[in-house]
A and B are shown apart, each in its own frame.
Chain A
Amino acid sequence: MAGETVSYMRPILVLGLGNEMLKDDAAGVRVAEKLQQAFPIEVEVRWTSEFGLALLDELIGRDRVLLIDSYIPQGVPEFREYNLDAVGQVNAPCPHFIGIGEIRETMRALELGFPREVRILAIPVDDPTSFSSEMSPRVAARVPGAADRASRIVRTWLAESKPQEPKEHAPAERWAGAQPLQQEVIHGN
């Protein structure tokens, strides 16, 4: 109908998480910025420094979501992927500790339609708690590699969504707390 506006929410979301003022915590944001023009219209690329239950607003209505975030490695710094197909124990004691697990629990319990797939790409960082608008040099150097990795994930999704027989996903595994049970470790930076 003429003049009618149709609201369309793109099914795939790439969401960079991070605080641009907290040095290496900006890593997820910087990767998302790099991907801004990388994909066709089915993919929306955004970034946010909001967390907790606010992430719920980002996820409602999406089919697949790639979260790009940072983590502090205990050993060798390497990109990590977490696949949250299954729901695990929810432990958040207060709003500042709500993460994707709690959001998933909430959305499922309230039948709000958690995305079919949520994956997290985690970038190893050194210092996410000092105020600085510049990342550590070696973390900044990881941004292109992380963007490539994210791009491959999304393009796999796009290929799967083309009209053909869908690929079988790996069986869902329970996710317990913060320990991923299914992860793909990419060596090197």
Chain B
Amino acid sequence: MAQKITIDPVTRLEGHGRIEIFLDDAGKVSRAYFQVPELRGFEQFVVGRPAEEMPQITSRICGVCPMAHHMASTKALDDLYHVESPPVAKKLREMVYNIFMLEDHALHFYFLGGPDFIVGPRAPKGQRNILGVLGKVGVEVGRRVIATRKELRDLVALLGGKAIHPVLGLPGGVAKPLDKADQARFVEVATRAVDFALFTLATFEEVVLKNQEYVDAITSEMYTHRTYYMGMVDGKNQVNFYDGRLRVVDPAGKEWGNFTARQYLDVIAEHVEPWSYMKFCYLKKLGWKGFVDGADSGIYSVAPLARLNASEGMATPRAQAAREQLFAVLGGKPVHCTLANHWARIVEMIYAAERFRELAADPEIVDPTVRTLPTAVPKMGVGVVEAPRGTLLHHYETDAAGLITRANLIVATQNNAARIALSVDKVARALLNAQNASDEGLLNMVEMAFRAYDPCHGCGTHALPGSMPLKLAIRDALGNKLREISR
């Protein structure tokens, strides 16, 4: 008879990621828990600060994706002050944002997500890393990624003051216009970026899609969850990273919800578990049914694959073609295969590059009227963007002087937290028992589920823990630790 496992609240996580796997009396996995530390005290930290500081404050939450927070915060200020930015300001913001998305996605695919496919899920541990990827695609490609990245970051610095912690967004506009003398450079870089994104797709086709083992890994049941999906779309239900409405589709791909950023509290709720500081988002109307997927469960997903699932197309031609290819190969929309996030990321690279080029070449992009000064008394504002890892939402409330009285952030990882927990649990149940637990294989399979979501716990800056700061503990039915694996 299986033992009932009580999770002692003191096992809540301090520090970095942790997975706890509990075995039943028969030595099979009864449950696996994925714990990620949540940053605490943000609301108290910002109370009393001027709302206009928030784009600078929040861009410092995460050292990898500061631009995402900066932009969501800027949009929250637009809403807070009821100010409409001039068209050129929106175009400049969107252009810079697409540059950021392109750079981030390229980085992830080539250096991080790549090992799961370019090298292969069963490759030796010593090859499942950056060097393994470079060994397959070649050093010249690697240098091209670094060079492209530098070019893109230089453009962000040109408009935003610096590549990190930009000072681009202001309520009602942006800090500076694009100089006509610089426009040609933006167009030139954008053209190279489109070429590079298409090259990335060709690389993926050659190395991954022509390898049946990799395709089987992508479509395996172990990494499949039939959940709802959420992403931002424009007026034609096409993917848009910068602005639009939030659209939710059900596991069959039919529209379930379509709402504005301000309506998020009517749609999204948070569930608390005693074993984690992270709150698990779910769709309020469906309710929290536990860590299960399916049409009756409120669990949903965000990020590249979710955005493709939640939309009806891409707004640029080459990206649309790439999207159609993905759905054709993987059996139609929606695709429930978590590992397909890596492919969806490439589709989004192409869109980001094409959209960047469109905006850079737009004659209006050099209009010097880049800001409308706000005049309304602030009270409440909500801003949302699609960060590389999923929907990012900032919600501020202020007093009449514009000082923060309350703030709430829902980051991509929070949106995905429940599905990540599902993924870890499913992989553990499928693979592990008391007899066959293999350190190497276990960690890799768990990593692959973890890696596809690229979770951000935004714990600031560290030089060393680059090696995955994840501990995996296996416990028996009484909770005694049998083995702990970490690296």
Contacts and interface: CB of A to CB of B under 8 A. Distances in A.
Interface of A: 17-22, 25, 28, 48-57, 67, 69-72, 82, 89-103, 105-106, 109-112, 120, 122, 128-133, 177-178
A163 B40 CA distance: 51
Contacts of A101: 464, 466-467
A21 B54 CA distance: 12
A90 B130 contact: yes
A132 B146 contact: no
B39 A129 contact: yes
Nearest to B41: A131
A109 B131 contact: yes
A4 B468 CA distance: 46
A82 B467 CA distance: 15
A69 to B, nearest CB: 5
A89 B126 contact: yes
Q: Which 7 A-B pairs have the closest CB atoms?
A: A99-B466, A19-B460, A131-B45, A90-B129, A25-B460, A94-B454, A131-B41
Q: Which of B37, B44, B464 has the most CB of A within 10 A?
A: B464
Interface stretch (B108-116, B313-321, B423-431): B108-116
B134 A67 contact: no
B462 A51 contact: yes
Contacts of A70: 462
Q: Which of A94, A102, A103, A133 has the most CB of B within 10 A?
A: A94
B121 interface: no
Given A20-B60, A49-B460, 15 more contacts: A17-B463, A21-B57, A50-B164, A55-B463, A92-B468, A95-B64, A95-B107, A95-B111, A96-B64, A97-B466, A97-B468, A129-B459, A131-B39, A131-B45, A178-B465
A96 B455 contact: yes
B456 interface: yes
A48 B60 CA distance: 10
Contacts of A103: 466
B461 A100 contact: no
Contacts of B441: none
Interface string B435-475: 00000000000010011001111111111111111000000
Contact of B45 (A21, A92, A94): A21
A120 B131 CA distance: 23
Nearest to A80: B464
B354 to A, nearest CB: 23
Q: Which of B108, B129, B461 has the most CB of A within 10 A?
A: B461
Nearest to B126: A89
Contact of B462 (A17, A57, A133): A17
A183 B277 CA distance: 34
A99 B464 contact: yes
B45 A132 contact: yes
B60 A49 contact: yes
27 contacts: A22-B39, A25-B459, A49-B165, A49-B461, A50-B66, A53-B149, A54-B63, A54-B163, A71-B462, A89-B129, A93-B468, A94-B112, A94-B113, A94-B451, A95-B111, A95-B454, A96-B458, A98-B111, A98-B112, A99-B462, A99-B463, A105-B131, A106-B146, A109-B134, A110-B139, A177-B467, A178-B465
Contacts of B458: 96
B139 A178 contact: no
Contact of A48 (B64, B164, B465, B467): B164
Contacts of A94: 108, 112-113, 450-451, 454-455
Nearest to B460: A19
A71 B464 contact: yes
Given A96-B456, A98-B112, A129-B40, A57 B150 contact: yes
B41 A49 contact: no
Contact of B447 (A57, A93, A105, A177): A93
B270 interface: no
Contacts of B104: 95
Contact of A19 (B15, B63, B149): B63
A95 to B, nearest CB: 5
B469 A49 contact: no
Contacts of B463: 17, 51, 55, 67, 69, 99-100, 120
A139 B170 CA distance: 35
A132 B66 CA distance: 18
Given A57-B150, A110-B146, A112-B146, A97 B41 contact: no
A56 to B, nearest CB: 7
Interface in B17-75: 37, 39-42, 44-46, 57, 60-64, 66
Contacts of B149: 53
A95 B461 CA distance: 12
A103 B41 CA distance: 32
Contacts of B146: 56, 106, 110, 112
B481 interface: no
B253 interface: no
B139 A52 contact: no
A102 B465 CA distance: 10
A53 B146 CA distance: 10
Contacts of A51: 63-64, 460-463
